[in-house]
Amino acid sequence: MNSELRERSSGIEVAKGIVSCFLLNGLHLGIGWLLLRGPDPFLMYAVVLITAFGVFQLIYIIPLILFLRKRDRQDFAKGIAIGASIAFLLNATCFGLLMTGKIKIF
């Protein structure tokens, strides 16, 4: 009974980590959108923040995973890593489609 409860709670922790990662990514892109809507001097920062999404994601995800592992929140850290991997794969796919010309923005 105890191991079943632990397995269930570890799955919930992984799901919480995935959702938390997507919320952090949403905050990241939200800040980029706000900068994009701001005055002209912020336009360059907004473009860099949005186009270099993967690099900036690594800047805040890797320390968060290391911090969570130190605090013995292994399953939550796994969820964060899974969420970051999903976001990276989606970003890479969209970038690849954009570069091959299958998707056109303008």
pLDDT at 41: 79
Place of tokens 């269930």: 8
Cα–Cα distance for residue pair 82/86, rounded to 1 Å: 6
pLDDT at 11: 87
pTM here? 0.82
Per-residue model confidence as pLDDT tens for the chain (106 residues): 566 656 667 889 999 999 999 999 999 989 888 888 888 877 888 888 888 888 889 999 999 999 999 999 999 999 999 999 999 999 889 888 888 988 877 6
Looking from the CA of 3 toward its CB, the CA atoms found within 13 Å total 0
The answer to whether the beta carbons of residues 17 and 75 sit under 8 Å apart is yes
Cα–Cα distance for residue pair 16/73, rounded to 1 Å: 11
